[in-house]
Structure formats: structure tokens, C-alpha cells
Amino acid sequence: MKSRELQIDGMSCNHCVMHVRKALAGVEGVTVNDVQIGKARLTVDEARVTNDMLSTAIERAGYRLVGIR
């Protein structure tokens, strides 16, 4: 398990926060620790979750992943 902080573009309100939280929680192997406007902190199982999977989940929710730390 590894911690990740995602930088996300397009979020502007608490509704956005809920959308992103739900999208990321739907990825098997992801534990959502915190979501705020413009960022999310997660714990991921690197054996099951790729950065592309995280990006896809965020894009499907209507936002754009701009960075991962």
C-alpha cells in the first residue's frame, strides 16, 4: 500500500468533492483518505491500481488529473 496525493483540475465546490470521492472509492484497491477542492489523498494497492486507472476514474467523473505525488 502506498500513499498518493492527486492534483485535480475542474473542481469548484463540495458537489465536485463528493463526485471525485465516489469515483475514486469505486476503484478496487483504493482507499480514499481525504478529498478537497483540487486534490485528493489516497492509499493505493500498487499491485492492483495504476495511475491510468486513477486518471480514468477522475475523467469519468468529469474532472482532470493534473499531477500525482
pLDDT for res 53: 97
Cβ-based neighbour number of residue 9 at 10 Å: 11
pLDDT for res 50: 96
pLDDT in tens, 12-57: 999 999 999 999 999 999 999 999 999 999 999 999 999 999 999 9
> To which residue does cell 481525504 refer?
34
pLDDT for res 35: 98
Residue 4 binned pLDDT confidence (cut-offs 50, 70, 90): very high
- What would the grid cell of residue 57 be? 476514474
Q: Could you tell me if 32 and 40 are in contact, meaning their C-beta atoms sit under 8 angstroms apart?
A: yes
pLDDT for res 3: 96
**Domain range annotation of the chain:** 2-68
CATH architecture assigned to 2-68: 2-Layer Sandwich (3.30)
